[in-house]
Amino acid sequence: MKTVNVNYFKPSGKWYTKETVEISEDLNGYEALFHELPKHHRIKDMYMLVQDSNDNKEPYIVPHLFKPISN
């Protein structure tokens, strides 16, 4: 399993919390960023920043900021 660092930020830009998420190593970078990681956006009204954990496993996760999910 690949470990990904996830940080949540309030809409004001203030940092809120950090956690790690595990994803399959069978995914490519695109599938991880745009299909799997959005499923782990657990605090829907906050920005979610995902980053690689430098665990030397594939796929490499390019830092990406996800906007809050609007209902």
Provide the pLDDT confidence category of residue 53 given band limits of 50, 70 and 90. very high
Q: Does some domain include residue 27?
A: yes
Provide the pLDDT confidence category of residue 71 given band limits of 50, 70 and 90. low
Instruction: Give yes or no for a contact between 6 and 40, defined as CB atoms under 8 angstroms apart.
Output: yes
Q: Does some domain include residue 71?
A: no
Q: Does some domain include residue 57?
A: yes
The predicted pLDDT at position 7 comes to: 98
pLDDT at position 11 over 90: yes
Domain count, the chain: 1
Which range of residues forms the domain containing residue 47? 2-66
Of the candidates 38, 53, 64, 49, which has an alpha carbon nearest to the alpha carbon of residue 1?
Answer: 53
Give pTM, 2 decimals.
0.90
pLDDT at position 55 over 90: yes
Mean pLDDT within 49-70: 94
Residue type for 31, please? E
